[in-house]
Amino acid sequence: MASLEPLEEDIEMGEDLADTVNTKLGSVGGLAKGRRLQKQILDGACILLNITSTVVLVFLNKWIFRDPQLTNMQISFAMWHFTCTAIVLWIASRSPFNLFVAVRLPFLQMIPLCSFFAGFLILGNLSLAYNTVGFYQLAKIMTTPCVVLLQYLLMGKTISGLTVGALASVCVGVALTNTGAAGTTSLGAFIAVVAFTVTAFYQVWIGKKMKDFAVSSPQLLLNQAPISVLLLAFVAPFFDTVPNLEKIPRDTMVALFLSGLAAASLNLSQFLIIGRMSALTFNVASNVKTIIILTYGWISEGRLLTVKDSLGIILALGGATLYSQLSQR
């Protein structure tokens, strides 16, 4: 009769092997789960950074523009933000971060684009200086319908009826909310309209340039920011007034410094979100920022939220969200 010991040994070896395989599979599964958790935490951190930096930047800028001396330094203010953005992006492109590969684009071809880049930022700051936070933020939403209109007129891009409905909802919502808005003058409204129109031109143009140069948004921005500083350096002496620093409160100077860091964090977080997640996630985050800014802005201005305001916000943000979803199809 054959001994059963070899068979028992084989069974034991098989059980040991199975245990080893299960242990390794468990380790791999745990590692994958850990990586997913790490990615979710980093994604959440990017979104939080984007929302926080945007909200902080708007209210820091509003605080800064309370000083009449700094209100007359819009070009220098833009130069400061461009400088901070260029520094942060340059660091992000270097080791150990290596978030993107820096490229050098033709200088002369960048000048027209940089002019628009500087123009839309300066006009945006002027709109914030001469309007309430609520009016400023809602006027910015009008950039999207303006972009679609320009693409239709200049590029012949057609849009669906549902998209037209979404954009119409945005326009009606902004109109409802801004009717009788406090703190808005004819000059402020004119600046806001020019600001979102120029911004729309810039967005249409920048999309074309990214395709022409075959670059990503951070690569293009890293080229734009320093060139924009150089261009504005020739213009600033003719338009900006040199402030008396002794008359500027210390807290305003601190806010000025922090606004540069917030602007750089905003630009960095924008392409991190789009790169790690999607443009749709970025648009949803943008709508969250709009709600926060509007709510806090109206509270700080002492404005009561009416039924008409609430309906306007729902229509504007609902239309913007629907358009974002349709544009991703």
For tokens 């007129």, what's the residue?
153
Distance CA 135, CA 294 (A): 9
Q: What is the mean pLDDT of the chain?
A: 79
Distance CA 194, CA 173 (A): 19
For 286-314, the pLDDT digits (tens) are 666 777 777 776 676 666 777 887 787 78
Q: Is the pLDDT of residue 255 over 90?
A: yes
Helix axes 133-141, 279-301, angle to 10 degrees: 150
Task: Report residue 150's pLDDT band, with 50, 70 and 90 as the boundaries.
Answer: confident
For tokens 């670059």, what's the residue?
215
Residue 138 corresponds to which amino acid? L
Q: Which helix (H) or strand (E) holds 265?
A: helix 250-276
For 12-41, the pLDDT digits (tens) are 555 555 566 556 555 656 667 777 777 778
Q: Average of pLDDT values for 279-285?
A: 58
For 63, 84, 236, 254, the CA distances from 259, given in Å and listed in that order, are 10, 9, 19, 9
Whole-prediction pTM: 0.70
